[in-house]
Amino acid sequence: MNGRLARWLPTVLTAVVVLGVSKLHAQYIGHYVFHQSTRFEWSFFYIAAMAVAAYAVGLPDLPRSRRDAVGAAAVATVVGASVVSVAQLIAGTAVLPRFVIVSSAALLVPGYALCVLLVNEGRKEVRARDRVVAVVRPEELDRLVSELATTPERSASVVWAMAPEGARSSGPGDCPLVEAVTDSRANVLVLDRLAQADDTVVDQAALLHARGVRVRTLSRFYDEWLGKLPASELEQLSLMFDIGEVHRARYQRVKRVMDTVIALMGCVLLVPVTTIVLLADASANRGPLLYRQPRVGKGGREFVMLKFRTMRPGTDSGEWTDDDDPRVTRGGRVMRRLHIDELPQVVNVLRGELALVGPRPEQPHYVSVLVDKLPFYAVRHLARPGMTGWAQVKFGYAGSDADALEKLQYDFYYLAHQSLTLDLRILGRTLRTVVGRDGR
């Protein structure tokens, strides 16, 4: 099944079920005209709540087994039904009948699970849809195969590989690259910079291109299939793309308005959460409420980033943290798992120091080390750093210099494709991460 179509399956199913059950209740139980009642508007609120909950728990594409599918479906329906019930309680009126809420939820559990099974069946059919011949250096091949086995944006597998010198033609009639692509029935050809510099390889690639084979440079393949830029070419690519915040004024303005509106909503949520954290700190996380840490922002300027404190006071040594870091308190570990510790950063967003989406800001001493090792690292400071980002949803937390290089590849992809569409996509994936409690 087409991936984009699959993502809409739960929403379409939710609308059909909720509106169908509501119409049934109006005609045979409540005896009222459904589309002329206030219950009509509340039905769409229920649909929206269910659809968002379904997406947040990973439906329909994340669960891999029937058990996971049923579990995710049950969680989504409970959350959606709870949201609409609480909303009616706040509004002071129970407009949507319990019959509609409960019956719809009961029908949607197996319905959502079926959506997952349909998507998984479709995924099996296209798991190795793209067959790739890679003309790259051996060290680059190992990295490429490893990347395709982890978190690709598009499904592909390397079915044939050769070094650039092995693809070279020695004369008329000698076409080793054409033979390799033909014999392996590949539909994608990838060339690294050495292969692109060889005229005989390029001539064979042109012939294959005319036959319908898609030809990509290594950097373009990483961009389209992996959602990142290759580490081996970061320095050459570091200034060869427009950056939304630098080169598109309209994007800058709309993004800033969106950041401000959502941050104001976050401040409303911050008030009750702060109260809960204060009470929890009294027993499980004694010490100051907030942790203030210098970070490097846009233009290389330092700012103070706010977080709820998760470590014992005075134990921050400037080292990378890990999942079992003994400095993290019991209460702090819970906050990290739920991502509550990041919530005070909405204040940084209102100040203009952070955006909702952007490269994650690092501490000054990390930056100085990384800039020395990676001269092009400072390019990421052309954009405002974010509370979340493409590197966070694709890779997660960086706990070493090697991880920082890996995340930089995703940061460069984000800078090259910066747009409101990508920002919203990242926010959606972040919501899934938070609801799924995949923290550190």
Q: What whole-number distance in Å separates Cα of residue 16 and Cα of residue 182? A: 47
Amino acid identity of residue 102, one-letter, is: V
Q: Are 359 and 411 in contact (CB under 8 A)?
A: yes
Q: What whole-number distance in Å separates Cα of residue 3 and Cα of residue 176? A: 35
pLDDT tens track for 274-328: 998 988 888 777 788 999 999 999 999 999 999 999 888 766 656 666 656 778 8
For residue 402, give every residue at least 6 positions away whose Cβ sits within 8 Å of its Cβ, in sequence order, or none: none
Range(s) of the chain covered by CATH 3.40.50.10700? 130-226
- What is residue 195's predicted lDDT score, i.e. its pLDDT? 95
What is the token pair recorded at 47? 């649909």
Distance, CA of 435 to chain centre? 13
- Distances in Å between the Cα of 298 and the Cα atoms of 190, 346, 385 are 35, 17, 7
What is the token pair recorded at 17? 């079920």
Q: What whole-number distance in Å separates Cα of residue 189 and Cα of residue 169? A: 16
- Phi, psi values for residue 429, rounded to 5°: -65, -35
Would strands 188-191 and 214-217 be described as parallel, antiparallel, or unpaired?
A: parallel
CB atoms within 10 A of CB 3: 14
**Shortest CA distance to 195 belongs to which of 217, 214, 175, 179?**
217
pLDDT tens track for 190-207: 999 999 999 999 999 999
What is the token pair recorded at 9? 């399956």
CB atoms within 10 A of CB 204: 26
> Residue 214 has what DSSP assignment?
E
Enumerate residue ranges in the chain where pLDDT < 50: none
What is the token pair recorded at 28? 């045979």
Q: Which residue has the tokens 């005229």?
A: 199
Residue 38 burial (10 A CB sphere; 0-12, 13-18, 19+): exposed
Q: Are 118 and 73 in contact (CB under 8 A)?
A: no
pTM, full prediction: 0.75
**Shortest CA distance to 123 belongs to which of 54, 48, 65?**
65
Q: What whole-number distance in Å separates Cα of residue 306 and Cα of residue 294? A: 9
Domain 130-226 has what CATH class?
A: alpha beta
Q: What whole-number distance in Å separates Cα of residue 219 and Cα of residue 229? A: 6
